Amino acid sequence: MNKWTPSYTEPPAPKPKFTRPELLLHPNIPKPLHGINPRTIIGEEWWDIQRHKAYKRNNYCCWACGVHKSRAKYHKWLEAHEYYIYDYVKGEAKLKFIVALCYSCHNFIHSGRLTAMQERCEISENKYKDIMTHGLKILKDAGLQKPIPPSSPAKWEDWHLRIGKKKYYSQFKNYEEWYEHYYERKG
């Protein structure tokens, strides 16, 4: 670069208003609840409003790690995640709020899905390891440890998503039907 070539410095990304690394402790969605969620029940218009509120609330930064969407590693956007409170005895999930996450943090939370994607060669082993390392580092730096997933005493048919007073039950009768849908159809 000579003295006549203008230099360009990328402006600093907005800072997050907060970070909540404990969001990465959110457990995997119980298998009976796969495929049912508020965005498909309530509708895309509701979902778009909620996710955009979540993005804006933290200056378009990941709620868990704080990275601005323009500086995120794999995609330059945020993803919305439904944060549930689970009752493993009753087999119930209640929506608590919507959060905005970078691709890495979102996939760390959905580590069961991420593992399945890696096993089916939909993502590379290096990308899988990078995402898992990213999440584990955030937890370690915050003094948190990913808990062992609870075993569910609730029966498959008892699991439901509660939205208001209404309950939504699994689209799968049992584990075998779930397995066929998610593994056998995808080859």
48-80 confidence digits (pLDDT tens) = 999 999 999 999 999 999 999 999 999 999 999
Per-residue pLDDT of 88-116, as tens digits, reads 889 999 999 999 999 999 999 999 889 98
Residue 35 domain boundaries: 21-184
Joined together, the tokens standing for residue 48 give: 């778009």
Q: Is residue 5 part of a domain?
A: no
pTM, whole model, 2 decimals?
Answer: 0.87
- Scan for tokens 């439904």, then name that residue: 82
Q: Is residue 3 part of a domain?
A: no
Total tally of structural domains belonging to the chain:
1
DSSP string, 2-60: -TTSPP--PPPPPPPS---GGGGGPPPPPGGGTT--HHHHH-HHHHHHHHHHHHHHTTT
Per-residue pLDDT of 150-186, as tens digits, reads 766 799 999 999 998 999 999 999 999 999 998 776 5
Q: Is residue 15 part of a domain?
A: no
Whether 170 and 32 have beta carbons less than 8 Å apart is answered as yes
Q: Is residue 7 part of a domain?
A: no
Q: Is residue 2 part of a domain?
A: no
Residue 2 has pLDDT above 70, yes or no: no
CA 157, 163, 166: angle at the middle one, nearest 5?
65
